[in-house]
Structure 1
Amino acid sequence: MMVLGGRSLARYWSGAKTLFFAGALVTMGAVSAVAQSFSFSSFAVEGNQRVGDATILNIAGLQAGVPLSTAGLNDAGQSLRESGLFSSVDLTPRGSQLVIEVAENPTINRINIEGNSRISDADLLPLIQSQPRRVFTPAQAEADTAAISEAYARQGRINATVTPRIIPRSENRVDLVFEVIESAVTEIGRISFVGNRSFSENRLRRVLESKEAGVFRILVARDTFSPERVAEDRQVLTDFYQSRGFADFVIQNIDVTLTRERDAYLITYNIQEGQRFSIGSVSVSSAINGVDAANFEDEVRLRSGATYSPVPIADDITRLERLAVDRGLRFVQVEPQITRNPRDLTLDVNYVLTSAPRVFVERIDIEGNSTTLDRVIRGQFRTVEGDPLNPREIQESARRIRALGFFENVTVNTRPGSSPSQRVIDVDVVEGPTGTLTFGANFNSDTGASLIATYRQANFQGRGQRLNVDISTAESNRRFNFGFTEPQLLGRDLRGSFDLNYATTDNENALYDTETFRISPQLSFPISDESRLTVYYALEYNDLTDVSDDASEIIAAEAEEGGIWTNSVGYAFSYDNRRTGLNPNAGVVLRFGQEFGFGDKQFIKTTALAGAETRIWNEEVTLRATLEGGLLTYQEGRSRVTDRFFLGSRIMRGFEPGGIGPRDALTDDALGGNAFSVLRLETEFPLGLPSEYNLSGGAFIDYGSVWDVGDVDTSNVIYNDFTGRAIAGLSLFWTTPIGPLRFNFTEPLDVQPEDNTRNFEITISTSF
């Protein structure tokens, strides 16, 4: 309706330009016919309605009786035109009077956006600088049009068209309407590489954040072209190669083209890998008088023979500079000197201790955080006001701020302070969403289908705290989990958390149900860059309910004890160097924990896990080995079925829940065990399918058992001693927008007659 009475902006702008040039020609003709300087005793302003005469003269810089040259007269007219208030300006000398004829730009009555459905008015209107009740200018309307088009381009809709139209209204007003014709998404049709010899295209595509359009194109936003994302991919690809020894790797250019139909982008990375280097000799030297380099050598973790990577070198520099501060050496910086040995393709690394400029941090200014408190951002800095300025530490602080996940963009720069020896650190952030509310369904072969509701907030009340609430109801269980975490307790790298868990089970494969409740406050802190220690207290309640008359005598006897409360303290140690180790293709994970019960129930529950993985054949194939076990011993009291270990599919595949381990020979009830151990060997490999399908294959062998029901009558218990089982299988991994899915097809190799096996299971893919 609004378009019918409107005029296109192009026609309006064309008319405005015609008046502009006509006015300029008249003015030039009038000026050329008279003398080269003027002195006007009066001014006559014509055509203005809203803008007063005094305002026009002030903008033009004209005063009565002041001599004015031809150039000055032209400058006065140009100033009026550039003010944006007028569509045309004409200055005509008439003797001692200057006549100024103007045609005012209309004011904007209202602004509408029509035809948009993919992007709402609420998202587009803030991009428009034209405003109601302000003067309309064609140049600003054109800029607004470009801003709306850019918003659609960022969504991958590069063929969207935006047309501004004006609809005249009374009193020199207009309605400004932006007509949008939305287009389909222009996806990334292909990502290819030229010059790659060490890694396949599929392996390199997995490194990049941008993805080719695949079967989940509706749900995955990363298959739309984004120049910002491609710029990030350039750095990610460089980091990938350099961390694997390719010190001379360079991306020569990135070719981005559109198909002829303009429906897909084709991205080609032209790269030069160079040679792969390893580390030769590693040393520390000092260029500072009185500083002995030998005192710093123990802090170096880089070792000869390791694959070259900038990451462990940067970590060594950070440790050396921190040690210098601890020893009272405030202005020391470490410069790595790298010497090439082309013959054996090694790099000698010498860390040189040098004097740093005497520059201090004057203050830290933080901008853009409307929700997140300043102290959360400041907590990522190891530097405070008055400390020596360490550029590497500032870069590390910026990395830690980005790692919080609270911000869409983080920029950290330094600028001169109030004196030459002072610097101000500017932190500019753009906040992003940090909370999610999810309603959905899940499926697991162990528990069946379930309905879930989840609320997660990673930045609770802007304090950097984490809040999780999970509710799920499945065919065989119902669970409620509440968790709260303070990552910077007491302003230190001390993580405090509080967990509350409640669950009831309807055991479909047993003649009893269970009810459990657990509260556990915890403290966690780092021991090294790769390890962490957690200590905790736990208050737990468990009960056996609805026990059938046909249930095992052991379970019936345990149920007679009723609901039991237990108190315990414990610790958990973890070590993981998969991300910080010297070899980017291999890693080790170690976990060890013990829980000590006290009071009426005195026990020690020990669990341990050791895992290693490595990638071979140019990182196309992943090999994993995991050994996991647990032991529960009682000094007072005895274990119940709610305390003992059961091996689900996460620990040992190929069995029904409770399908392995001690069981009552008369009732077939699974009793669980006080001890278990499982060895898992597996491999993951590509299937040769296009990478956009996100499918890979795997094979595995599991060997293990669970045993020992404790101090009870075991005359009717079978498999109470260690009896090893072996399962082999094939896996299909499918990375989907709802999570990584794993399909296992299993075949028993060595099982017992009363075990309950299964040949197929589906789970959310997990790793150790």
Structure 2
Amino acid sequence: MFKYNLTVFIKSLLMFSVFSSIIYAQETTDNQSIQSSQIYERIMFIEVRGSQRIESDTIKSYMTVKPGDLYDDAEVDRSLKILFNTGLFADVAIRYENSGLIVFVIENPIINRIDFEGNSALKDDKFEEEIELGPRSVYTRSKVQADVQRLIELYRRSGRFSAFIEPKVIRQPQNRIDLIFEITEGPTTGVSSINFLGNRNFRDRKLKSQLVTKESKWWRFFSSDDSYDPDKLAYDREQIRKFYLDEGYADFQVVSAVAELTKDGNNFVITFVLDEGQVYEFGESSIESSLENMDTDELLYLIEHRKGNQYKATDIDMTVDALTLAVGEEGYASAEVRPRVRRKREEGIVDIVYSIDEGPRVYIEKININENTRTRDEVIRRELRVSEGDAYNKVLIDRSETKIKSLGYFREVETSIRPGTEEDRMIVDFEVEEQPTGELSLGAGFSSAESLLLEIGISERNLLGRGQSVRLNISTSERRKQFEIGFTQPYFLGRRLTAGFDIFHIDNDYRRYSSYRSTQSGASIRAVWPMAEYASLSVFYRYLKEEISSYFFQSGYNLADDYNADKSEIGYSYVIDTRDDPIDTTRGWTFSVGQDIAGLLGESEYIRSNFGGRYYYEIARNWVLSAGANAGYIYNYGNKDLRINDRFFKGGNTFRGFDRAGVGPKEKLTDRPRGAELFAIGTLEVTVPLGLPDEFGLRTALFTDFGIIGKNDDEDRVLNTGRAQELVGDINSPFYNLSDLLSQNYSAINEACRNDSAGLNEIYGTLCTRFVDDATFRATVGVTLNWNSPFGPIRFDIGRAVVSEDYDDAKFFRFSGGTKF
């Protein structure tokens, strides 16, 4: 019993002790809380210390606590973080003291200037465009490190992966600093090799020719394509994919594209892993449409591929664009064309169904032109193929972007689409980056026809941002001197009409070819209308003063073509050009027809007609067959004689294998061309790949030129004026003491030459002219080599005449070249 009571007593005593401790602790906490509340009651004032250029009120405005607020640790901490995040301060501290908050700040310095040291590959202005910091901005370490990364990335994009940049700070009075970026550029990181794995049907060399990135070789000292760039690698990956899809490999995939840095850190090794798949042909093609009143049979001609053709992804893309445009012109601007591809792997066939459905009705709410600091808005907007309020049409928007790029005023053009104010509204933004449009050029060249050629030109393609162009060009060579001023106004009178004028002076010395010199001075006005997507009609009126001066030969020969007269011409030309590329053409065709009519106010009366066309077809990759023809005819409809300068002279570049003006009618005794009134020349040419890397810039072609050139209305007349003078004193001459001979008219002798009376040439030797005009068939064969050299384009023509007349002037080798700098 006693033990039990003792146990109860001990337990009760322990419980009392614990309870007393809890009560005491609670009272202590309450007392501390009361004491804390008494210490931190209200914030009576806020004082800022340490600020130099930033006003105290500005600093207080960032804080979430104000005088009169109850003190709250969370709000004070939030204010502290806000002040740090402004980027204005290197350090911030807040202390509660004497019923107020004391804010201690150390301001970040202001950047006085920024300088770059050690850079030579990239210029300062390139860096200034890239970094965010600038003079009079606030210095922070985080911003400096961010700019360092931007500059390093800039160097990497230029192929310098070992570039190192260290920022240095130089303290200046009044809390200012100079920021110096010390740059160690390092060598250009090249590409030692490009490897392909999985390519069973194409050699490495063929695939490498599709890439922008090239292997580093000694001859690429003028190129930057052999430096590694991750962006170029991504582009190359897409280029390989497009190549295979156009070669029939519809299942092709680039499994991986990896660039590995070599141990020495100077080069990269790039490896593409490919999965080629099998080759497909096009099978059945059809069009399905859910649009009302849409006859799909009428659209079948727009399909670019035919059954049995090798699969080519580009043909599908072109068909989609053509169908989208066609149904858009029918009023279904929001229609969507989707190709459904059905592969039959066992048969190697791809069937295509083009599905045309009504897309969601989305309209263009607004079109913005951004960043055009110089070019006026209306100059850009008139190139657009869509307007505000139109139904959204991707094809027309893409064409608008292409049209803006083709102006040549902008370095970059990017299109972006964003939602409008309503669900069925879109806003289209065209972001442009201006580029210089003025040009001062100096040119030099040499050719077997013109010898040394020098040229200076000044031009502006976007005068005052209005889209107008003006040019001044002066050129001189051994045989030609030219001065020309031109002005062009696009969209004349607010219409799709290009108008302009030219003032010119041209001096041609044809002593080597046809024994005369031509000088033309005058002016012309012109206008061009676009008739269709690929066609245009141009008209012109030209008025000039023309002077022809004949050269006398040492023997006394003179072809007597001298005249000084005014000429007035009006003409037109109609041109269609569907070529995919005007320089490196692989498909398409051209056609042109034009006429020049002389008369009206001048002393010449003729109609000169020209026709021409050419067709290009890629028979295999890099093998392009082209067939062309040109023809011309000049008709003298009046009583005035045709001048020698009005006729056609062919040869050189216009009939390869013959010298310039080396084929056609000729004065036989002097061996001087006289020009023709009719010509028709055809050409067949096939581009032959040389198997060399594309960066060599070499292209060659085999050709044959053939045709006829002839018809000349020249009549025999006095040729040797020195010999004619002897007839005056020869008592046996039928023209002894002839008055018109003494007056240098020679009309009687001219008539005798034409009639061959008295056998003048037999009696007096080479007195009369003898014109030959055999409008017979001629043909040549040869090879053309074009080299896009680092010094400018150079062309070599090697041709041999296989069918010709004995008085034609053959030319086995011709070359020309030049550059601008």
- What TM bracket, shorter-length normalisation? 0.7 to 0.9
1:440 aligned residue: 443
Match of 1:622 among 609, 613, 624: 624
2:646 match: secondary structure: coil
Distance 2:378 2:59 in 1: 51
2:107 aligned residue: 104
Q: 2:445–2:453: 8 Å Cα contact kept in structure 1? A: yes
> Given the superposition, is the C-alpha separation of residues 123 and 337 from structure 1 closer, same or farther in structure 2, using an over 3 Å criterion?
closer
How many pairs does the alignment contain? 727
Q: What do the CA deviations read for 1:118-144 (whole angstroms, capped 9, x no partner)?
A: 444344334443344443222222223
Matches within 5 A, 1:280-299: 280-293=283-296
Which AA in structure 1 matches 2:641?
R
Q: 2:625–2:686: 8 Å Cα contact kept in structure 1? A: yes
1:762 aligns with 2:818: no
Residue 278 of structure 1 deviates from its aligned partner by 4.6
2:672 match: secondary structure: coil
Distance 2:272 2:68 in 1: 68
1:545 aligns with 2:549: yes
1:661 aligns with 2:664: yes
Matches within 5 A, 1:706-745: 706-713=709-716, 716-717=769-770, 719-745=772-798
Match of 1:384 among 384, 387, 393: 387
2:178 match: secondary structure: strand
Which has the higher mean CA deviation after the structures are superposed, 432-441 or 685-694?
A: 685-694
Distance 1:586 1:109 in 2: 59
Which AA in structure 1 matches 2:398?
Q
Which AA in structure 2 matches 1:593?
G
> Given the superposition, is the C-alpha separation of residues 500 and 355 from structure 1 closer, same or farther in structure 2, using an over 3 Å criterion?
same
Q: 2:652–2:661: 8 Å Cα contact kept in structure 1? A: no
Which AA in structure 2 matches 1:61?
T
1:155 aligned residue: 158
Q: What do the CA deviations read for 1:432-461 (whole angstroms, capped 9, x no partner)?
A: 233322112112221111111123433333
Q: 2:190–2:268: 8 Å Cα contact kept in structure 1? A: yes
Distance 2:801 2:335 in 1: 62
Match of 1:425 among 421, 424, 428: 428
1:572 aligned residue: 574
> Given the superposition, is the C-alpha separation of residues 575 and 414 from structure 1 closer, same or farther in structure 2, using an over 3 Å criterion?
closer
Q: What do the CA deviations read for 1:411-447 (whole angstroms, capped 9, x no partner)?
A: 2222222323322222222222333221121122211
Distance 2:235 2:472 in 1: 34
1:654 match: secondary structure: coil
Q: What do the CA deviations read for 1:264-304 (whole angstroms, capped 9, x no partner)?
A: 44444444444454544444443234555456556666655
Match of 1:368 among 368, 371, 385: 371
Matches within 5 A, 1:484-503: 484-503=487-506
Distance 1:197 1:541 in 2: 68
Report the identity percentage: 30
Which AA in structure 1 matches 2:454?
L
1:125 match: secondary structure: helix
Match of 1:125 among 113, 123, 128: 128
Match of 2:173 among 170, 178, 186: 170
Residue 629 of structure 1 deviates from its aligned partner by 3.1
> Given the superposition, is the C-alpha separation of residues 224 and 650 from structure 1 closer, same or farther in structure 2, using an over 3 Å criterion?
farther
> Given the superposition, is the C-alpha separation of residues 503 and 307 from structure 1 closer, same or farther in structure 2, using an over 3 Å criterion?
farther
Q: 2:503–2:522: 8 Å Cα contact kept in structure 1? A: yes
Distance 2:511 2:227 in 1: 47
Residue 166 of structure 1 deviates from its aligned partner by 1.2
> Given the superposition, is the C-alpha separation of residues 313 and 627 from structure 1 closer, same or farther in structure 2, using an over 3 Å criterion?
same
Matches within 5 A, 1:248-287: 248-287=251-290
Which ranges of structure 2 fall in alignment gaps of 5 or more residues?
1-34, 717-753, 755-767
TM-score normalised to the size of structure 1?
0.82
Matches within 5 A, 1:192-203: 193-196=196-199, 201-203=204-206
Which AA in structure 2 matches 1:143?
A
1:511 aligns with 2:515: yes
> Given the superposition, is the C-alpha separation of residues 158 and 487 from structure 1 closer, same or farther in structure 2, using an over 3 Å criterion?
farther
Which has the higher mean CA deviation after the structures are superposed, 106-115 or 238-247?
A: 238-247
1:146 aligned residue: 149
Which ranges of structure 1 fall in alignment gaps of 5 or more residues?
1-33
Residue 371 of structure 1 deviates from its aligned partner by 1.6
Which has the higher mean CA deviation after the structures are superposed, 184-193 or 101-110?
A: 184-193
Q: 2:44–2:99: 8 Å Cα contact kept in structure 1? A: yes
Match of 1:408 among 401, 406, 411: 411
1:563 aligned residue: 565
Q: What do the CA deviations read for 1:142-164 (whole angstroms, capped 9, x no partner)?
A: 22333333444443344333221
Q: 1:112–1:177: 8 Å Cα contact kept in structure 2? A: yes
Distance 1:465 1:370 in 2: 16
Residue 623 of structure 1 deviates from its aligned partner by 3.5
Q: 1:199–1:619: 8 Å Cα contact kept in structure 2? A: no
Residue 689 of structure 1 deviates from its aligned partner by 3.7
Distance 2:187 2:154 in 1: 14
The root-mean-square deviation of aligned C-alpha atoms, in Å, is 3.9
1:30 aligned residue: none
1:674 aligned residue: 677
Distance 1:392 1:238 in 2: 23
Matches within 5 A, 1:677-716: 677-713=680-716, 716=769
> Given the superposition, is the C-alpha separation of residues 209 and 377 from structure 1 closer, same or farther in structure 2, using an over 3 Å criterion?
farther
TM-score normalised to the size of structure 2?
0.78
Q: 1:551–1:667: 8 Å Cα contact kept in structure 2? A: no
2:644 match: secondary structure: coil
1:632 aligned residue: 634
Which AA in structure 1 matches 2:698?
L
1:702 match: secondary structure: strand
Which AA in structure 2 matches 1:594?
Q
> Given the superposition, is the C-alpha separation of residues 41 and 586 from structure 1 closer, same or farther in structure 2, using an over 3 Å criterion?
closer
Distance 1:191 1:405 in 2: 35
1:563 match: secondary structure: strand
Q: What do the CA deviations read for 1:345-396 (whole angstroms, capped 9, x no partner)?
A: 4444444443232322222111111122222322232221222222332233
Which AA in structure 2 matches 1:480?
F
> Given the superposition, is the C-alpha separation of residues 579 and 216 from structure 1 closer, same or farther in structure 2, using an over 3 Å criterion?
same
> Given the superposition, is the C-alpha separation of residues 222 and 631 from structure 1 closer, same or farther in structure 2, using an over 3 Å criterion?
farther
Q: What do the CA deviations read for 1:81-103 (whole angstroms, capped 9, x no partner)?
A: 33323333344556856554443
Distance 2:336 2:778 in 1: 58
> Given the superposition, is the C-alpha separation of residues 400 and 605 from structure 1 closer, same or farther in structure 2, using an over 3 Å criterion?
same
> Given the superposition, is the C-alpha separation of residues 202 and 399 from structure 1 closer, same or farther in structure 2, using an over 3 Å criterion?
farther
Which AA in structure 1 matches 2:363?
F
2:636 match: secondary structure: strand
1:28 aligned residue: none
1:387 match: secondary structure: coil
Distance 1:119 1:60 in 2: 44
> Given the superposition, is the C-alpha separation of residues 393 and 125 from structure 1 closer, same or farther in structure 2, using an over 3 Å criterion?
closer
1:179 aligned residue: 182
1:79 aligns with 2:132: no
Residue 761 of structure 1 deviates from its aligned partner by 2.0
Q: 1:727–1:746: 8 Å Cα contact kept in structure 2? A: yes
Q: 1:252–1:272: 8 Å Cα contact kept in structure 2? A: yes
> Given the superposition, is the C-alpha separation of residues 562 and 191 from structure 1 closer, same or farther in structure 2, using an over 3 Å criterion?
farther
1:596 aligned residue: 597
Q: What do the CA deviations read for 1:321-364 (whole angstroms, capped 9, x no partner)?
A: 55556555565444444444445544444444432323222221
Residue 544 of structure 1 deviates from its aligned partner by 0.9
